[in-house]
Chain A
Amino acid sequence: MQLKAGTKLHSSVCDTDVMVIKGSGDVALTCGGAEMVTARTGAPGQIDPGFASGTAMGKRYQTDDGSVELLCIKPGKGTLAVNGVALEIKAAKALPSSD
């Protein structure tokens, strides 16, 4: 599917919503094994048990090379993946609060 920074995407098999932080062009982005969608229609499909470790609220997920980065804005049971490879949680930078 076409990615663009700022786009909101939904899982078609669980409650997960993400916002695209980084990434562009045609990317095979899935959640729970099924392609993510811009709008949910109909009943949710089945989660692939191989992609069912879940998403966590407010965490950032990225590909190995950092070319795609997503922010989880609603958690769910599926695992985010690009080209069948599960995304990793991006480590926090832990800046001191300045405001």
Chain B
Amino acid sequence: MNISLVLQMAADTFPDRIALTHNGVHYSYGRLYASAQAAAARIVESGAAYVSYLGESSPATVVALFGAAMAGKPFAPLNYRLTVPETNRLIERLFPVFLITDLDKAASVPDGAARVLMTGPEFLAATASEEPGEWDAPQDEEGVAVQLFTSGTTGEPKAALLRHQNLLGYVLGTIDFASAEEDEATLVSVPPYHIAGISAILSSIYAMRRIVQLPQFTPAEWLKQCCDQSVTNAFVVPTMLTRIIAHIDETNEQPNLQALRALAFGGGKMPLPVVERALTLFPEVAFANAYGLTETSSTIALLGPEDHREAHNHPDPLVARRLDSVGKPLPTVEVEIRGEDGSVLGPNELGEVFVRGPQVSGEYQGRKLTDDDGWFPTRDSGFIDDHGFLFLAGRIDDVIVRGGENISPGEVEKVLRSHDGVEDVAVVGVPSVEWGETLAAAVVLKPAVTVTEQELQDLVRKQLRSSRVPEHIRFVDALPYNEMGKLLRRNVKAIFAD
């Protein structure tokens, strides 16, 4: 198997259809396929072991991804927001590398690490070719297609390996080939070093839905592209949707989103008020909430459009709360909730989410985390309700152990967030002589609101119990998130270090 099949089929079927739009320039499927072939030849000739891309989304990302696949080399995109020393440590792990980058960082790439170093435009010019020829992509079953470095919030970044069979398993199992209408276009605003950026390329090309690249997300630019490019589909991470809605509310302009049919979000917990506001603001749009991990080649569970609309303002609280769930597992994967002793738990019982299926890699360089039966422990805690909806309760590694009692930050955060004056909140465990660990809450208040620590502590005591009451509360201006909207809990803990 080889992921280049995705582009090959699209190019065979409708070579002249537009596959990609970047800065107003269009690229057809045939042109991208021909370029990927030319790129593969270059990569093989270079003798590089990896192909890496350090930069924002561009047509070169797509050509490099498929070119690497056709050359049988892993594609390892890098986060362009890292510092030079961090970047260099990763590049050394890709030696010898075929590196494509537009950034100044290229000048500081360690000597000898790169076999080939060129900018995106140079790479596109060097591989420009109109007529695809014949190219036999390696069909190595175990071949690694994509290697993604984790954000490394707890140490050196780990290299997650996604094999051709994992990514193709996801694409072939969830998308019908060429199922998009010719007028459909998807706005891709996630960066290429994120799993959502990779799956957006593969899924859109297989569905033959035109990709519109938005390399630098801002709410205004996102809305402009939606309008100018008649965007029909989009995927955003929670912070993006939060910012889009805030922008619409602030400018008080009704955006022109007439073409927009479907909006998917994922990559983190979407705050319930944001979803509810979005459902009201865009009544005609089909919403999908996707849950997935890098190690599972993207989406494994999905809350679809009908579920969103049904749950919105539903009188039955058990139906209404589905807006806070990640929906049901895809038909192509199995999901189980397991207890600490490894036993499989029943409905509504909280435990660790395990997943199995062709798309699940569960593998880092040098370490495979799946068990003998193929089950991958996600390290997410959650439960499945009586109707099969999966609810997540946070990362298991974030659980606070206070006096021997396990406390999930999520349950306390939810109560604090329900306070009218609270804009955002993060609860972490901090060292305590008495309890081993105790709860601390960093709270962002809404503008011009006064709330006392006592008030918040009373709220938690009333709704939960005394062991859940944060001993320490700090009011802060903002919480530390990374660029993808992931809360950096380690940095929250640092707030309480003094």
Contacts of A98 in B (CB 8 A): 174, 235, 264, 266, 288, 290, 292, 298-299, 302
Beyond A6-B141, A94-B176, A97-B233, whether A74 also contacts B299 by CB under 8 A is no
Q: How far is the CB of A11 from chain B (nearest CB, A)?
A: 15
Establish whether residues B13 and A95, one from each chain, have CB atoms under 8 Å apart when the complex forms.
no
Taking CB as reference atom, which chain A residue is nearest B164? A6
Complex CA–CA separation, A94 to B1 (angstroms): 24
B177 contact from A21, A58, A94, Cβ within 8 A: A58
Establish whether residues B262 and A96, one from each chain, have CB atoms under 8 Å apart when the complex forms.
yes
Tell me which of B123-131, B195-203, B216-224, B368-376 binds A: B195-203
Beyond A6-B165, A58-B13, whether A96 also contacts B264 by CB under 8 A is yes
Establish whether residues B12 and A74, one from each chain, have CB atoms under 8 Å apart when the complex forms.
yes
Establish whether residues A6 and B176, one from each chain, have CB atoms under 8 Å apart when the complex forms.
no
Q: Which of A61-78 contact B (CB under 8 A)?
A: 71, 73-74
Contacts of A27 in B (CB 8 A): none
Q: Which of A40-68 contact B (CB under 8 A)?
A: 57-59
Complex CA–CA separation, A73 to B1 (angstroms): 12
Q: How far is the CB of A93 from chain B (nearest CB, A)?
A: 6
Is B116 close to A, CB under 8 A? no
Contacts of B178 in A (CB 8 A): 57-58
Contacts of A8 in B (CB 8 A): 139
Establish whether residues B13 and A57, one from each chain, have CB atoms under 8 Å apart when the complex forms.
yes
Taking CB as reference atom, which chain A residue is nearest B234? A97
Q: How many A-B residue pairs have CB under 8 A?
A: 77
Taking CB as reference atom, which chain B residue is nearest A92? B176
Dominant secondary structure of chain A at its interface with chain B = loop
Which residue among B9, B298, B302 has the maximum number of chain A CB atoms within 10 Å of its CB? B9
Chain B interface size range: 35 or more
Is A26 close to B, CB under 8 A? no
Contacts of A21 in B (CB 8 A): 172
Contacts of B292 in A (CB 8 A): 98
Is A19 close to B, CB under 8 A? yes
Beyond A6-B165, A57-B178, A58-B176, whether A97 also contacts B9 by CB under 8 A is no
Complex CA–CA separation, A99 to B290 (angstroms): 8
Contacts of B1 in A (CB 8 A): 5-6, 19
Establish whether residues A96 and B305, one from each chain, have CB atoms under 8 Å apart when the complex forms.
yes
Contacts of A99 in B (CB 8 A): 196, 199-200, 203-204, 235, 264, 266, 290, 298-299
Contacts of A93 in B (CB 8 A): 174, 176, 331
Establish whether residues A97 and B172, one from each chain, have CB atoms under 8 Å apart when the complex forms.
no
Q: How far is the CB of B1 from chain A (nearest CB, A)?
A: 4
Report the interface size for chain A: residues with CB under 8 A from the other chain. 19
Dominant secondary structure of chain B at its interface with chain A = mixed
Taking CB as reference atom, which chain B residue is nearest A69? B172
Beyond A8-B139, A92-B176, A98-B288, whether A73 also contacts B9 by CB under 8 A is yes
Establish whether residues B13 and A97, one from each chain, have CB atoms under 8 Å apart when the complex forms.
no
Contacts of B174 in A (CB 8 A): 93, 95, 98
A97 contact from B5, B165, B207, B330, Cβ within 8 A: B207
Contacts of B196 in A (CB 8 A): 99
Contacts of B199 in A (CB 8 A): 99
Complex CA–CA separation, A74 to B298 (angstroms): 27
Complex CA–CA separation, A37 to B187 (angstroms): 41
Is B245 close to A, CB under 8 A? no
Is B304 close to A, CB under 8 A? yes
Q: How far is the CB of A2 from chain B (nearest CB, A)?
A: 14
Beyond A21-B172, A98-B299, A98-B302, whether A57 also contacts B288 by CB under 8 A is no
Contacts of A58 in B (CB 8 A): 9, 13, 176-178
Contacts of B141 in A (CB 8 A): 6
Q: Provide the A1-14 mask, 1 if CB < 8 A to any CB of B, else 0.
A: 00001101000000
Complex CA–CA separation, A93 to B330 (angstroms): 10
Q: How far is the CB of B319 from chain A (nearest CB, A)?
A: 19
Chain A residues near B (Cβ < 8 Å): 5-6, 8, 19, 21, 57-59, 71, 73-74, 92-99
12 further A-B contacts with Cβ under 8 Å, apart from A57-B177, A71-B172, A97-B186, are A6-B1, A57-B12, A58-B9, A93-B174, A94-B176, A95-B175, A95-B302, A96-B288, A98-B266, A98-B298, A99-B196, A99-B200
8 contacts between A and B (CB under 8 A): A8-B139, A57-B9, A57-B12, A73-B5, A95-B302, A96-B286, A99-B204, A99-B264
A-B pairs, 10 with minimum CB distance: A58-B177, A98-B290, A6-B1, A99-B199, A98-B299, A96-B288, A98-B264, A92-B176, A99-B200, A96-B304
Chain B residues near A (Cβ < 8 Å): 1, 5, 8-9, 12-13, 139, 141, 165, 172, 174-179, 186, 196, 199-200, 203-204, 207, 209, 233, 235, 262, 264, 266, 286, 288, 290, 292, 298-299, 302, 304-305, 330-331
